[in-house]
Structure 1
Amino acid sequence: MNGGEALVATLLEHGVETGFCVPGESYLTVLEALRQARTRLRLVLNRHESGATFAAEAYAKATATPGIAFVTRGPGATNASIGLHTAKQDSTPLVLFIGHVPSHEMGREAFQEIDYPTAFGPMTKRVIEVLRPEDVAAATAEALQLAVAGRPGPVAVVLPEDVTEGEANSVAIPKQQPRSMLAPNAETVAAAARLIDAAEYPVIIGGEQVNFESAHDALARFSEAAGAGVVSAFRRQDILPHDHAANLGHFGLSLAPYQEKFWADVDLVILAGTRPDGATLQGFSLLRTDQQVIHIYPEDAAFAQSSPKVALAADLAPSLEALTKRLNSAPSNSRLDWREARHREHIAYATPGLDETARCLGDVDMTEVIAHLRRRLAVDACTVNDSGAFAGWLHRYFAYQTPRTQFAACLGAMGYAVPGAIGAQLARPDSEVVALVGDGGFLMTGQEIVTGVQQNLPFTVLLFDNGMYGSIATHQYRRGGREAMYGTVMNSPDFAALARAYGAAAWCVERTDEFPDALDAALAEAGRPSLLHIKTDMRDLNASGPQMAD
């Protein structure tokens, strides 16, 4: 058994069924071992390394198991690094295997050599460099275990070419070990419960650990027992059903007017399984000095940003269950009435047609497009959204009802949607998968649609084309009007023709009333991706308005 075979044997022993790659001569023995294991482990050939790591990241979000990607040294690894960065900030388990220069060339600035611990250390949980063939299996098992331990995240495994080519002898393949649960401290739980009992208007901000730990029921029970409202952290809207009585909406890059108003009332903030990211916390300005904070998270470092009164360094699900049992009093009527009023405001804000300020000006009404998508898709459908101004309409008007159905780079990386749809569709073969992407994001990784064609995956891409980098152009317009929009307006190709050239089905949508039939046709496609080229108006800047003046 050589090092490459030991790696693949370890993946199989740990239940890995899918991997993503761009091939390279630095890991040929790994590719051969994957070929021999092709009936047990599906290898997806991507067209760019960022596509491989984005797809692996989405697959990991869907399964709560490590996403697996393989790339070659130097340029291949740096291309893949955007997926590592995404997995780090999104707390997603991912293992990236990097073929490297032979070990005798290391440290000499060899062809395509990189110092991976220095380059990738800040965006991973660990960089593991393997220097002996007989250590490959143990390093692979360590990476898989580390990716899911505590706060999940990415691990990079660096494999010199001679290490995967070399003889590993009769090395033992490590058995899969269950993830260790981090139980909460009983005294700390009691202190948190006292704060909750004493609060007037507590609000929970739920984050990534809800999905990773499948803590949805625990979150719902805790919110009901405490009478607390629940806000989803940035792009975590699938942690609680949209119409659940505790749901108070989503904290995105800015707060909605009703959220700004109710936040002034909140005296206790419960950060539930969310790292204190800058988007959710509004540039770290959200938490006030007069608010008490309880923070539940499996990584101590997160507490430096939230300065909690009570810090529970533990897994979320057992912490919420312990808190629910420890509460001493039922929520007051005033707390429940306050929450009910805020929930009604959340529902109203997500209802199309009630906000004249946000009215679209173009022939395609983005509000109506998302409203129809909300009506048309099954409750377990998965949306995979890129970053861009168009995403604001999805965040505002789409109603998530089922756990683990929202896939997005909370990091804000463009180019996520199409490769992410590949990962989501492979993990959820029986669910509708719809990718939403702007023209700018598609032009970064849209070629991955041909990967979907080769893999016979029936996901649908909704491509919103406004001929500009909308988010940046909006900031420019707000500062200086149309004349300030510089370096952001671009030409677009015929995206429908491009998709057809890749082998996908495609339609063009130029008016709102054309969207329903086109969507039906796209969703009816079997065995290949489909794309709707939706031509939007650059005057429609965002979902909250105001829009660009004529």
Structure 2
Amino acid sequence: MTAGSDPTVRLTVAQATVRFLRAQYVQRERVRTRFIAGCFGIFGHGNVAGLGQALLQDEIDDIDAGRTPQLPYILGRNEQAMVHSAVAYARMRDRLQTWAVTASVGPGATNMVTGAALATINRLPVLLLPADTFATRVSAPVLQELERPDSGDVTVNDAFRPVSRFFDRVARPEQLPAALLGAMRVLTDPVETGAVTIAMPQDVQTEAFDWPTTLFEPRTWRVGRPAPDADVVADAARLIAAAASPLVVAGGGVIYSGAQDALAAFSSHTGIPVGHTQAGVGALAHDHPGWVGGIGATGTTAANALAADADVVIGIGTRYSDFTTASRTAFARPDVRFVSLNVARLDAVKQSSLAVVADARAGIEALHTALTGHRVDPVYADRIATLRSRWNALVDNAIHPQHRGVTVGDGRSAMTQSQVIGVVNQAIDPRDVVVCAAGSMPGDLHKLWRPRDAKGYHVEYGYSCMGYEIAGGVGVALACPDRDVVVLVGDGSYLMMATEIVTAVQEGLPLIIVVVQNHGFASIGALSESVGSQRFGTRYRRRSDSGRLDGPVLPVDLAANAASLGAHVVHAADTDALAAALRVAKTAEGPTVIHVETDPLIGSPDSRSWWDVPVAQTSSLSSTQAARVAYDAAKRAQRTYLRPTDTDA
């Protein structure tokens, strides 16, 4: 691949990949950052001689030159978990930096597919470098090769195609530059970003080639702030100014854009209240008068009451998931209109919105200017304040330490999950980070958490992936070493992926992991009950003589398991003990696991909202029959939001 007299350097494909990644930078405004912070990996026969050798050589070269390794390597324990850590890191860095992740061919590679789906669904960048089977096929079939009678070129890595935003396979060295440049194009694009997969056959990784040295020169990828169309902003401003009860729905795009201050100023100036999605928690601080909390199926009564009466909904940086819209029942007015400000047109046109396609900060500032002098009616402002006050009183009651829960197995008293959240929220510093992902905890957090910092709340709810929590905490801790990181994880998620406690020990990360033991799947248990399925299959029990899983509680000791993985472990039996344990854990050098028991039958305050989970249309169970009646009644409130988008309609 020589071009005229350009100088070349002879490297393997893997060595060239590592050298290229070292030289990639991202710049937004005046801040320039190395884009690939390092590489997570687990080595097997498919990548140990290729990418493994290249990373080793790169590390030694840096150390020999007196430099800290510029592309550090972290050994993970589970391939899916490594992707979660990289994604969490990217989220904390506002998508301006991420990690590469490599695994061997076969189960190592396919273990990363779930992580790839999570990254793409959440629009977060991660570079996956799975090994692949031999490009030459000279030894076929090789260990862990997928043989198909209808195709000779399909490997297990083709499973990445539907869950990646960009996929390529480097079957020849000449293909590498185009693959790497294509990967960087997608990774650094706020609209297109997600999982990027470059499958690398194990023989090609080790093949040497003469590369033009220009391939390895520093390259800066600029992330701009697309400005909105002036005419569209004027239309949106007229629509908002004419509204009697407008409402902002703030999503993750506000935070990725760094638009929190702009949103706070916009809300202060106009008096328009702000509800937030899961990804948007922190877009507005709890003590701002415009904050009304989470919206939708796991939202606050304040935000949902305002949503039901809103005549104009202003979505900013949200993709309007079913939880946000309460399965399209949240915005109940027949004449409701939508304005959607989003950098991605895919999201901006949802709900038949007037689409303002732009960077969130640039768009908010443009709307603010266009609405100079406008403010909501005082009667509406009073209603916002009243609803905020009522909700805060409900939360205060739910998290109050007076309630000690019910007695559990050995006579100890269990806290409620709401109390656990309240203690954590109050005990940690404003800039500390809470991490969660799946089960009943994210819904309760969305209702109860009082955000004080834009990066203090890290809940993965686009994919709601059990097992993300501890792995995500590793990524958050790497991204923000100046913040304490508190992971809230239920027993179900813990059992799926506790392995990265070992990685936290290895890297000296002072994670604080609060393991909430309620002996089953609390979230799905409650959902099962609501659809008439009587919590079937959701409790951790021995099999009884009847043949059902309804016997005694399983004798699983999660605290002992955590200790065996190298964590310091503390048991907290009540709110005072939990608060004390958190204070001590904040001074620890390595990971601390705090084990608490909660009562799964005492829930958080009702959001007065709905989520569409179909119920069996016919059943011999009276519980299911009753649930179907309730489902049919709720279903009638669903909307299509197909009204015209023109402002004169």
Paired position in structure 2 for 1:22:
42
How far is 1:385 from its partner? 0.8
Decide which of 96, 105, 115 is 1:83's aligned counterpart: 115
Paired position in structure 2 for 1:5:
15
The reply on whether 1:95 has 2:127 as its aligned counterpart is yes
How far is 1:479 from its partner? 4.5
Report the CA distance shift for 1:507/1:261 in structure 2 as closer, same or farther (over 3 A): same
1:219 alignment partner AA: L
Partner Cα distance (2:251, 2:141) in 1: 42
The reply on whether 1:158 has 2:199 as its aligned counterpart is yes
How far is 1:55 from its partner? 0.5
1:12 alignment partner AA: R
The reply on whether 1:511 has 2:571 as its aligned counterpart is no
Paired position in structure 2 for 1:365:
416
| Cα-Cα RMSD | 2.6
How far is 1:485 from its partner? 3.2
How far is 1:224 from its partner? 2.4
Counterpart secondary structure, 2:492: helix
Alignment of 1:3-402 (within 5 A): 3-14=13-24, 15=34, 16-28=36-48, 29-38=50-59, 39-64=69-94, 65-105=97-137, 111-113=144-146, 115=155, 119-151=159-191, 152-171=193-212, 172-173=215-216, 175-251=219-295, 253-288=297-332, 289-303=334-348, 305-308=350-353, 310-334=354-378, 335-353=380-398, 360-361=405-406, 363=413, 364-402=415-453
Partner Cα distance (1:42, 1:202) in 2: 49
How far is 1:25 from its partner? 2.3
Partner Cα distance (1:451, 1:355) in 2: 35
Q: Deviations over 1:42-81 (max 9, x none)?
A: 2211111111011011000111223422222232222112
Partner Cα distance (2:242, 2:584) in 1: 55
Is the CA contact (8 Å cut-off) linking 2:315 and 2:338 kept in structure 1?
A: yes
Q: TM-score, normalised by structure 1?
A: 0.91
How far is 1:266 from its partner? 0.6
Paired position in structure 2 for 1:531:
593
Is the CA contact (8 Å cut-off) linking 2:399 and 2:421 kept in structure 1?
A: no
Decide which of 488, 496, 502 is 1:444's aligned counterpart: 496
Partner Cα distance (2:456, 2:175) in 1: 38
Report the CA distance shift for 1:521/1:112 in structure 2 as closer, same or farther (over 3 A): farther
Q: Deviations over 1:374-432 (max 9, x none)?
A: 22111110111131123344333322111122222112111111001100001111210
Report the CA distance shift for 1:248/1:438 in structure 2 as closer, same or farther (over 3 A): same
The reply on whether 1:425 has 2:477 as its aligned counterpart is yes
Alignment of 1:447-458 (within 5 A): 447-458=499-510
Partner Cα distance (1:89, 1:260) in 2: 25
Report the CA distance shift for 1:539/1:286 in structure 2 as closer, same or farther (over 3 A): closer
Is the CA contact (8 Å cut-off) linking 2:304 and 2:607 kept in structure 1?
A: no
Report the CA distance shift for 1:354/1:425 in structure 2 as closer, same or farther (over 3 A): closer
Partner Cα distance (1:115, 1:192) in 2: 49
Report the CA distance shift for 1:115/1:187 in structure 2 as closer, same or farther (over 3 A): farther
Report the CA distance shift for 1:78/1:540 in structure 2 as closer, same or farther (over 3 A): farther
Counterpart secondary structure, 2:211: coil
Report the CA distance shift for 1:82/1:354 in structure 2 as closer, same or farther (over 3 A): closer
Q: TM-score, normalised by structure 2?
A: 0.78
Is the CA contact (8 Å cut-off) linking 1:19 and 1:41 kept in structure 2?
A: yes
Rg: which structure is higher?
2
Report the CA distance shift for 1:59/1:359 in structure 2 as closer, same or farther (over 3 A): same
Is the CA contact (8 Å cut-off) linking 1:229 and 1:339 kept in structure 2?
A: yes
Deviation above 6 Å: which 4+ runs of structure 1?
A: none
Is the CA contact (8 Å cut-off) linking 1:350 and 1:398 kept in structure 2?
A: no
Q: Deviations over 1:187-227 (max 9, x none)?
A: 11111111111111111111111121211112222222332
Report the CA distance shift for 1:109/1:389 in structure 2 as closer, same or farther (over 3 A): farther
More helix by share: 1
Partner Cα distance (1:258, 1:196) in 2: 20
Is the CA contact (8 Å cut-off) linking 2:171 and 2:201 kept in structure 1?
A: yes
> Larger deviation: 427-436 or 234-243?
234-243
Partner Cα distance (1:239, 1:492) in 2: 42
Is the CA contact (8 Å cut-off) linking 2:275 and 2:303 kept in structure 1?
A: no
> Larger deviation: 122-131 or 252-261?
252-261
Is the CA contact (8 Å cut-off) linking 1:392 and 1:543 kept in structure 2?
A: no
Is the CA contact (8 Å cut-off) linking 1:224 and 1:246 kept in structure 2?
A: yes
Unaligned runs of 5+ in 1: none
Q: Deviations over 1:349-388 (max 9, x none)?
A: 43234899x9954522333332222221111101111311
Partner Cα distance (1:504, 1:255) in 2: 34
Partner Cα distance (1:98, 1:284) in 2: 39
Is the CA contact (8 Å cut-off) linking 1:408 and 1:416 kept in structure 2?
A: no
Partner Cα distance (1:428, 1:295) in 2: 31
2:515 alignment partner AA: L
Partner Cα distance (2:167, 2:320) in 1: 24
Partner Cα distance (1:67, 1:492) in 2: 39
2:45 alignment partner AA: E
Partner Cα distance (1:201, 1:32) in 2: 62
Partner Cα distance (1:412, 1:457) in 2: 24
The reply on whether 1:412 has 2:441 as its aligned counterpart is no
Paired position in structure 2 for 1:521:
584
Report the CA distance shift for 1:68/1:354 in structure 2 as closer, same or farther (over 3 A): closer
How far is 1:235 from its partner? 4.2
What is the total number of aligned residue pairs between the two structures? 541
Q: Deviations over 1:145-194 (max 9, x none)?
A: 31231323221121122332122312322612212432211111111111
> Larger deviation: 73-82 or 39-48?
73-82
Report percent identity of matched pairs.
27
Partner Cα distance (1:360, 1:258) in 2: 27
